[in-house]
Amino acid sequence: MYTLHIANKNYSSWSLRPWLLLRERNIAFSEQLTPFSSDARHPTSELYRHFSPSGRVPCLIDGGATVWDSLAIVEYLAERHPGVWPVDGTARAWARCVCAEMHSGFSALRTLHTMNCGLRVRVAERPPALVADIARIEDIWNEGLARFGGPFLAGAEFSAADAFFAPVAFRFQTYGVIIAAPAEDYLRRLMALPGMRAWEAAALVEPWRIPSHENDALRTGELHADLRTHVTAA
Amino acid sequence: MYTLHIANKNYSSWSLRPWLLLRERNIAFSEQLTPFSSDARHPTSELYRHFSPSGRVPCLIDGGATVWDSLAIVEYLAERHPGVWPVDGTARAWARCVCAEMHSGFSALRTLHTMNCGLRVRVAERPPALVADIARIEDIWNEGLARFGGPFLAGAEFSAADAFFAPVAFRFQTYGVIIAAPAEDYLRRLMALPGMRAWEAAALVEPWRIPSHENDALRTGELHADLRTHVTAA
């Protein structure tokens, strides 16, 4: 059975991708969560290097094999399990394009709308680069739904493409990003997936608050709700 | 036959990856180079959107199919041509891990040692994040060479892993990054590949100078050579 190393569910957008893929494709795995370090003397990369060569998560362990990086994990799983990518060649090529684009791009979204599942933040104004990132995501979603017929991004079944855009759904929820149908309907479907519900529920009860991650979110706008239920010391 | 859209050879590290892969794997293609825009009224993304949905290069055209993003292009080619990834499953998984890690990471190297093939820049001091990126690349190279026997990163043949680290070779040359053997020997082999020689030769005769790219390089240290042969207006 696979072991998937992940970080905090409230914060780790990269961890969510393969976790959700495994879960929605019904591939058995055990989860190993190592929280981000908030101790500068022991940085996160140092903790993670014990199991992940890059010092980052996610990292998949399959017996003697160590597979790090969310996109490499996807391709590793795709060689072993049906449905990770669409069967149709055109849909598969498209799905890989949008995953690879997400993997290396969208730096404004990544920096300015960091994942923090439990928070709700009011954003007064978005810089052009962020507006462009959001518009590009809407375009990608609408294109996939139109070309491959939905209800998922690359056709009838949940694939790695959906898993790769799942963190975006939490970002949009936290920062109140408004998009139009049909992309909006897709967003709702994504949020309703059992895996997404389970991830969010777990994120909300986590006890850890990492100052740098909290500050990234609070810098973005005005906090109007914190849905996390674990009471922390001030 | 494939058409590969690329940008300036002097600057575009992302373009180099699939170009070198096609070339070193002897896969026929025609190259379509569209220089970066230096006119703010017509940004590069607007020019590129005519052929690439993301507004970015590289972008591969295969008849009616458009495949953008260097890593998605690699997987598209891997489904159609032998040798893009290693045949051995362990080497293949490893090669995908290091490519995906390069695709989404190494932001200090990307930002502080931008590709500019023709320049030679003396760097007085490197911030810790950049030193860590360089050390990680050395580790990856040494690990690959040791595990899979060389002379290439993932074994006896040139694969996508080598293509993905090829831009690093030009960066190291430009900014005088010193690494130790065996990684150093690998760097020399990479630079000696016919495809790398041809790319560099073409980069050196390009007439375009994009101020933002030039400034990125000059900000990094003291310029001591510009090997580009095209005389430009001051």
Q: What is the pLDDT at residue B232?
A: 66
Domain of B49, in residue numbers: 2-78
Contact partners, residue B34, CB within 8 Å, separation at least 6: B5, B6, B7, B47, B48, B51, B57
Distance CA A86, CA A90 (A): 9
pLDDT digits (tens, 9 = 90+) for A158-216: 999 999 999 999 999 999 999 999 999 999 999 999 999 999 999 999 999 999 999 99
Which secondary structure element, helix H or strand E, spans residue A3, and what is its range?
strand A2-6
| Same domain? A103 vs A191 | yes
Distance CA B62, CA B45 (A): 21
| Same domain? B74 vs B95 | no
- Find the mean pLDDT for residues A66-75: 98
Is residue B208 domain-resident? Answer: no
* Placement of tokens 């996807």 in the chain: A74
Distance CA A187, CA A170 (A): 10
Give the one of B65, B90, B103 whose C-beta lies nearest to A93's C-beta.
B65
Contact partners, residue B143, CB within 8 Å, separation at least 6: A53
pLDDT band at A51 (very low <50, low <70, confident <90, very high): very high
User: Which parts of chain B sit beneath pLDDT 70?
Assistant: 232-234
Q: What is the pLDDT at residue B233?
A: 54
Q: Are A93 and B67 an interchain contact pair (Cβ–Cβ within 8 Å)?
A: yes
CATH code, B30: 3.40.30.10
Structure tokens at B58: 């590289």
Sheet bearing B2-6, strands edge to edge: B29-33, B2-6, B59-62, B65-68
- Find the mean pLDDT for residues A49-78: 98
Distance CA B104, CA A100 (A): 9
Mean pLDDT of chain A: 96
Residues of A with CB under 8 A from a CB of B: 53-54, 56, 65, 67-72, 75-76, 79, 89-90, 93, 96-97, 99-101, 103-105, 136, 139, 143
| Same domain? A73 vs A129 | no
The total number of structural domains in chain B stands at 2
pTM of the model: 0.96
Which secondary structure element, helix H or strand E, spans residue B224, and what is its range?
strand B222-226
Q: Among A20, A49, A78, identify where a domain stops.
A: A78
| Same domain? B156 vs B108 | yes
| Same domain? B24 vs B118 | no
Share in percent of chain B as helix, strand, coil (round to 5): 50, 10, 40
| Same domain? A39 vs A113 | no
Residues of B in contact with A75 (CB under 8 A): 75, 96
User: pLDDT at residue A147 above 90?
Assistant: yes
What is chain A's alpha carbon radius of gyration, rounded to the nearest angstrom?
17
Is residue A209 domain-resident? Answer: no
Q: Which residue of B has its CA nearest to A110?
A: B104
Going B225 to B171 to B76 to B61, the CA torsion angle's sign is negative
Q: Are B103 and A104 an interchain contact pair (Cβ–Cβ within 8 Å)?
A: yes
| Same domain? B102 vs B147 | yes
| Same domain? B170 vs B108 | yes
Distance CA B77, CA A85 (A): 16
Is residue B137 domain-resident? Answer: yes
Pick A232 or B82 by higher pLDDT. B82
Distance CA B16, CA B171 (A): 12
Output the 3-class SS for chain B. Answer: CEEEEECCCCCCHHHHHHHHHHHHCCCCEEEEECCCCCCCCCCHHHHHCCCCCCCCCCEEEECCEEEECHHHHHHHHHCCCCCCCCCCHHHHHHHHHHHHHHHHCCHHHHHHCCCCCCEEEECCCCCHHHHHHHHHHHHHHHHHHHHHCCCECCECCCCHHHHHHHHHHHHHHHHCCCCCCCHHHHHHHHHHCHHHHHHHHHHHCCCCCCHHHHHHHHCCCEEEEECCCCCCCC
What is chain B's alpha carbon radius of gyration, rounded to the nearest angstrom?
17
Report the candidate in B199, B205, B204 with the shortest Cα–Cα distance to residue B19. Answer: B199
Q: Which residue of B has its CA nearest to A49?
A: B136
Going A87 to A89 to A91 to A93, the CA torsion angle's sign is positive
Contact partners, residue A219, CB within 8 Å, separation at least 6: none
Residues of B with CB under 8 A from a CB of A: 53-54, 56, 65, 67-72, 75-76, 79, 89-90, 93, 96-97, 99-101, 103-105, 136, 139, 143
Distance CA A195, CA A19 (A): 9
| Same domain? B71 vs B96 | no
Give the one of B68, B89, B100 whose C-beta lies nearest to A97's C-beta.
B68
Q: What is the pLDDT at residue B169?
A: 98
Residue in A54, A87, A136, A142 to test binding to B, most B beta-carbons within 10 Å: A54
pLDDT digits (tens, 9 = 90+) for A101-133: 999 999 999 999 999 999 999 999 999 999 999
| Same domain? B56 vs B144 | no
Residue in B70, B79, B92, B104 to test binding to A, most A beta-carbons within 10 Å: B104
Is residue B128 domain-resident? Answer: yes
Q: Are B54 and A136 an interchain contact pair (Cβ–Cβ within 8 Å)?
A: yes
Identify whether the C-beta of residue A58 lies closer than 8 Å to the C-beta of residue A15: yes
Which secondary structure element, helix H or strand E, spans residue B33, and what is its range?
strand B29-33
Is residue B211 domain-resident? Answer: no
Distance CA A139, CA A221 (A): 25
Distance CA B135, CA A90 (A): 39
Residues of A in contact with B75 (CB under 8 A): 75, 96, 100
User: pLDDT at residue A54 above 70?
Assistant: yes
Is residue A212 domain-resident? Answer: no
A and B: number of Cβ contacts within 8 A? 81
pLDDT band at A40 (very low <50, low <70, confident <90, very high): confident
User: pLDDT at residue A234 above 60?
Assistant: no
Is residue B179 domain-resident? Answer: yes
Which residue type is seen at A80? R
| Same domain? B165 vs B116 | yes
Residue in B97, B103, B141 to test binding to A, most A beta-carbons within 10 Å: B97
Q: What is the ipTM of this complex?
A: 0.96
Is residue A124 domain-resident? Answer: yes
Q: What is the pLDDT at residue A94?
A: 98
